[in-house]
Amino acid sequence: MKKLVLLSCLLTLLTTTSFALTPDTQAPLYEHLVEINREWLKITPEKQLLMQTAFPNDQARIATHLRLVEQILRQRHYPAFDANQRANRLRHLDALHGYHKTGIFPANHYHLERRPYFRDNNQVLCAVGYLLWADGQQELVNRINRENNYGYLFDLARQYPEIEAWATENGFTLDELAWIQPAYEPIKPDFSLWGNGQGLNPGGRINIMAKTPDDAKLIIAGAFSSIDGQALNNIAIWDGAAWSALGTGVIGEVFALDVYHIYGTSKLLVGGKFYLPGQPELQNLAEYDFNTATWKGLQTGDMEGTIHTVHYNTGFPGVFIGGDFLKINGINHPYIGHWHPYNGGVWNYYFDFLNTDGPVKTLADVDGLLLVGGSFEKVKDADSGSWIQAPHLVYFNHSNGWVPINHVLPVVEKATYFEGNIFASHPFQLKPDGTMQGLSILKAGLWHEASVWPYVDSTIHGFCTYNEYLMVYGGLYAGSLNGGFGTGMAHFHDDDLELQGVTLADASIRAAQSFQGFMYVAGDFEHLFGTGDPYKGMARFTLPYVSSPEPDRPLAIEVTASANRLRCRYDALEYPTELRIFDLQGRLVSTRELLPGGETVLDVTSEWNNGLYVWQLQNQSGMQAGKWVVQH
Name which of 334, 326, 272 is nearest 298 in CA terms: 272
| C-alpha separations of 88 from 71, 132, 176, 573 in Å | 16, 12, 15, 20
Does the pLDDT at position 545 exceed 60? no
Asked if residue 480 belongs to a domain, the reply is no
Confidence of residue 4 (pLDDT cuts 50, 70, 90): very low
Residue 6's pLDDT band (cuts 50, 70, 90):
very low
Q: Is there a domain that residue 569 lies in?
A: yes
Q: How far apart are the first and last CA of the chain?
A: 34
Cα–Cα distance for residue pair 546/467, rounded to 1 Å: 7
**What pLDDT digit, counting tens, does each position of 330-365 carry?**
999 999 999 887 766 778 767 778 999 999 999 999
Q: What angle do CA 365, 208, 357 make, to 5 degrees?
A: 55
Cβ neighbours for 459, distance < 8 A, ≥ 6 positions apart: 413, 414, 425, 426, 427, 428, 438, 474
Indicate the range of 129-143, 162-176, 201-215, 443-457 predicted with least confidence: 443-457
Phi-psi domain of 386 (left: phi exceeds 0; alpha: psi -120 through 50; beta: other): beta
Amino acid in position 219:
I
High-pLDDT (> 70) share of the chain, %: 87
By CB neighbour count within 10 A (0-12 exposed, 13-18 middle, 19+ buried), where does 331 fall? exposed
pLDDT at residue 9, rounded to an integer? 27
Strand order in the sheet with 588-593: 588-593, 578-583, 611-619, 622-630
Establish if 475 belongs to a structural domain.
no
Q: What is the mean pLDDT of residues 451-476?
A: 82
Report which of residues 584 and 62 the model is more confident about: 62
* Final residue of a structural domain among 180, 206, 231: 180
Q: What is the pLDDT of residue 197?
A: 82
What sign does the dihedral 397-403-407-412 (CA atoms) show? positive
- CA distance linking residue 534 with residue 471, whole number of Å: 23
pLDDT surpassing 60 at residue 44: yes
pLDDT band, very low/low/confident/very high, at 572 (cuts 50, 70, 90): confident
Angle at 113 between CA 107 and CA 115, to 5 degrees: 50
| Alpha helices by DSSP H, 409-525 | none
User: In which band, very low, low, confident or very high, does the pLDDT at 530 lie, cut at 50, 70 and 90?
Assistant: low
Top pLDDT among 165 and 318 is at 165
Which residue, 155, 180, 205, sits at the end of a domain? 180
Q: Is residue 507 part of a domain?
A: no
pLDDT at 15 over 50: no
The pLDDT value recorded for residue 173 is 96
pLDDT at 35: 95
Taking each helix axis as running N to C, give the angle between helix 83-102 and helix 127-134, from 0 to 180 degrees, rounded to the nearest 10.
120
pLDDT-above-90 percentage for the chain:
51
pLDDT on residue 401: 85
Q: What is the DSSP letter of 532?
A: S
DSSP lists the bridge partners of residue 630 as: 611
* Cα-based angle 242, 244, 245 (whole degrees, multiple of 5): 160
- State the CB neighbour count (10 A cutoff) for residue 566: 22
14 pLDDT tier (thresholds 50, 70, 90): very low
Q: What is the pLDDT of residue 271?
A: 98
Pair 252, 297: CB distance under 8 Å:
no
Position 586 pLDDT exceeds 70: no
Give the contacts of 146 (CB within 8 A, at least 6 positions apart): none
Contact 193, 539 (CB under 8 A): yes
- Number of separate domains in the chain: 2
Predicted pLDDT at 238: 96
Q: pLDDT category, 473, cuts 50, 70, 90?
A: very high
**Rounded Cα gap, residues 108 and 115, in angstroms:** 7
Model confidence band, residue 626 (pLDDT cutoffs 50, 70, 90):
confident
Q: Is residue 138 part of a domain?
A: yes
At 567 the pLDDT is: 92
| Per-residue pLDDT at 53 exceeds 90 | yes
Mean pLDDT computed over 468-487: 67
Residue closest to 464 by CA, chosen among 518, 410, 384: 518
Whether the pLDDT of residue 175 is over 90: the answer is: yes
What integer best gives the mean pLDDT of the chain? 85
Strands of 479-620, DSSP E: 486-492, 499-505, 509-515, 518-523, 538-542, 558-561, 565-569, 578-583, 588-593, 599-603, 611-619
* pLDDT for 532 beyond 70: no
Summarised one tens digit per residue, pLDDT across range 262-273 is 777 889 999 999
Average pLDDT of span 431-457:
77
Angle value at C-alpha 579, between 574 and 582, nearest 5 degrees:
155
- Domain-embedded: residue 264: no
pLDDT at 504: 78
Region of 154 please: left (phi>0), alpha (psi -120 to 50) or beta.
Answer: alpha
Among 148, 180, 212, where does a domain finish?
Answer: 180
Determine the Cα–Cα distance for residues 491 and 450; give it in Å rounded to an integer: 11
Q: Which residues of 520-549 are buried (b: 16+ CB within 10 A; e: fewer)?
A: bbbbebebbbbeeeebbbbbbbebeebeee
Per-residue pLDDT at 547: 43
Residue 177, φ and ψ in degrees, nearest 5: -65, -40
> CA-CA distance, 512 to 203, in Å (whole number)?
19
585 has pLDDT over 70: no
Angle at 589 between CA 588 and CA 595, to 5 degrees: 100
Distance of alpha carbon 624 from alpha carbon 553, whole angstroms = 8
- The string of pLDDT tens digits covering residues 309-320 is 999 987 677 899
Q: What is the pLDDT of residue 455?
A: 67
36-51 burial: b if 16+ Cβ within 10 Å, else e: bbebbeeeeeeeebee
Band the pLDDT of 417: cuts 50, 70, 90. Answer: very high
Confidence of residue 595 (pLDDT cuts 50, 70, 90): confident
Q: What is the pLDDT of residue 568?
A: 92
Chain centre to alpha carbon of residue 570: 33
User: Which of these ranges, 68-72, 153-157, 183-187, 474-478, has the smallest mean pLDDT?
Assistant: 474-478
- The listed range with the strongest mean pLDDT (17-26, 109-118, 210-219, 313-322) is 210-219
* pLDDT, tens only, 86-132: 999 999 999 999 889 878 888 887 676 789 999 886 678 999 999 99
Contact indicator for 117, 148 with CB cutoff of 8 Å: no
Dist. CA 542–CA 546, nearest whole Å: 9
Residue 580 domain flag: yes
Q: Are 451 and 499 in contact (CB under 8 A)?
A: yes
Residue whose C-alpha is closest to residue 236's, from 275, 195, 278, 264: 195
**What's the confidence (pLDDT) of residue 269?**
96
Query: Residue 209: CA atoms inside 13 Å, Cβ hemisphere, count?
Result: 29
pLDDT on residue 177: 97
CA distance 511 to 440: 20
CB 57 within 8 Å of CB 23: yes
574 lies in some domain: yes
CA distances from 13 to 315, 479, 537 (A): 50, 13, 19
Do residues 317 and 269 make contact, with C-beta atoms less than 8 angstroms apart?
A: no
> pLDDT digit string (tens) for 221-232?
999 999 999 999
- CA-based torsion, 54, 59, 63, 69: positive or negative: positive
φ, ψ of residue 90 in degrees (nearest 5): -65, -40
Residue 472 has pLDDT above 80, yes or no: yes
Q: Which residues span the domain enclosing 69?
A: 21-180
Domain containing residue 620: CATH number? 2.60.40.3080
pLDDT digits (tens, 9 = 90+) for 236-292: 999 999 999 999 999 999 999 999 887 778 899 999 999 999 999 999 999 999 999
